Amino acid sequence: MVSKQAPNAVQAAAEGHEHTHGARQRKVVMEVKGITKTYQMGSYQLQVLRGVDLTFDDDDFFAIMGPSGSGKSTLLHLLGLLDVPTSGSVKIDGREASKLSEDELARLRGEKIGFVFQFFHLIPTLSATENVQLPMIFLGVPEEERRKRASELLTMVGLGSRMEHKPSELSGGERQRVAIARALANRPTMLLADEPTGNLDSKSGAEIMKLFIDLHEKKHITMIMVTHDPNIAKYAHKIIRIKDGVIQSIDKT
C-alpha cells in the first residue's frame, strides 16, 4: 500500500485513511492506484494513461498541468467517476468504484463530486436557478429546499441578481459561476474543474480562482483543476505534472 519513498504529503497520505497533519485531522477522500486508460481505435490501441497513482485528502488543492494530449482530461474524468479506467483501482471514500452498480456510482458521483467544464455545459433553455437545481432534482431534494439552496449558491458566487437569466443572457464569467454553483448543489466533497478559466479573460479567471480559494478554505472542499495557465496553477497548493499519461512530478507551488 505504501510507496517506496514518501517524497511529499501526497505519498504520505497513501499510508492511511486517517492521519494527522498539523493541527487538523485529514482524511483521504479519493485514491487511485495503477490506473490505465487505453482507447481501441480500430486495430490500433492508444494508451492514454499508463499507471497513475494519486491520493487526495480532504484538504488538498491541486492543479494538473501537462502538454495537450497528455491525458489530463482523461484523468479528471476518471477521478470524477465520469468514465472507468481500463485497469487499476479508483476508491472514493474507501469504496472501490468498480464494485459499485451503475446506480450506486451515479448516486455517489451526484453526492460527492462537483464537475466544472471549460465550456460550462449549462442547459441553454433553463435559467440560472433551474440549472443549479438540476443535480438536486436528480437526488430527490424537495422543491422548496432546492430553490433555497440554488438561491444561496447563486448569491455566494455573486449572481443573486441573475437568477432568472438564461445562459445566453450571461457573460462567460457569469456562466462559469453558474456552473460552479451547480457543481456545488449537492454539497460535494470534491470539486473537479477542467480548464475552468480556459475560456475566460484574465479578470474573470481571477474571480473564479478567488471563489475556488474560498470554497477550499471555508468549506474544505478538495479542489483538483486542470489548467494550461501557470498564473492559474499558482493558486493551487500543489502541481501534478503529467506527460504521455505518466505523472512526472508533484510539487508544492
Instruction: Output the CA–CA distances (angstroms, integers) from residue 204 to 50, 161, 171, 198, 199, in the order listed.
Output: 35, 18, 10, 10, 10
End-to-end CA distance of the chain: 27
Closest to ligand ATP by CB, 3 or 45: 45
205 sits near ligand ATP (criterion: CB under 6 A): no
57 Rama class: left (phi>0) / alpha (psi -120 to 50) / beta: beta
Answer yes or no: are the C-beta atoms of 32 and 89 closer than 8 Å. Answer: yes
Q: How far is the CB of 118 from ligand ATP (least distance, A)?
A: 8
Answer yes or no: are the C-beta atoms of 64 and 240 closer than 8 Å. Answer: yes
Q: How far is the CB of 94 from Mg ion (least distance, A)?
A: 29
Answer yes or no: are the C-beta atoms of 126 and 120 closer than 8 Å. Answer: no
84 sits near ligand ATP (criterion: CB under 6 A): no
Closest to ligand ATP by CB, 159 or 240: 240
Closest to ligand ATP by CB, 34 or 39: 39
Q: How far is the CB of 108 from ligand ATP (least distance, A)?
A: 23
- Residue 69 binds what, of ligand ATP, Mg ion, none (CB under 5 to 8 Å, by partner type)? ligand ATP
Answer for which of 16, 25, 39, 94 binds ligand ATP (CB under 6 A) is 39
Closest to ligand ATP by CB, 39 or 119: 39
Please report, as ranges, the residues that interact with Mg ion according to CB under 5 A: 73
48 sits near ligand ATP (criterion: CB under 6 A): yes
227 sits near ligand ATP (criterion: CB under 6 A): no
- Residue 106 binds what, of Mg ion, ligand ATP, none (CB under 5 to 8 Å, by partner type)? none
68 sits near ligand ATP (criterion: CB under 6 A): yes
Backbone angles phi, psi at 101, to 5 degrees: -75, 165
136-140: long-range contacts, CB 8 A cutoff, minimum separation 24: 136/185, 136/186, 138/110, 139/107, 139/110, 139/111, 139/186
* CA distance linking residue 133 with residue 20, whole number of Å: 36
Residue numbers at the binding site for ligand ATP (CB under 6 A): 39, 41, 46, 48, 66, 68-74
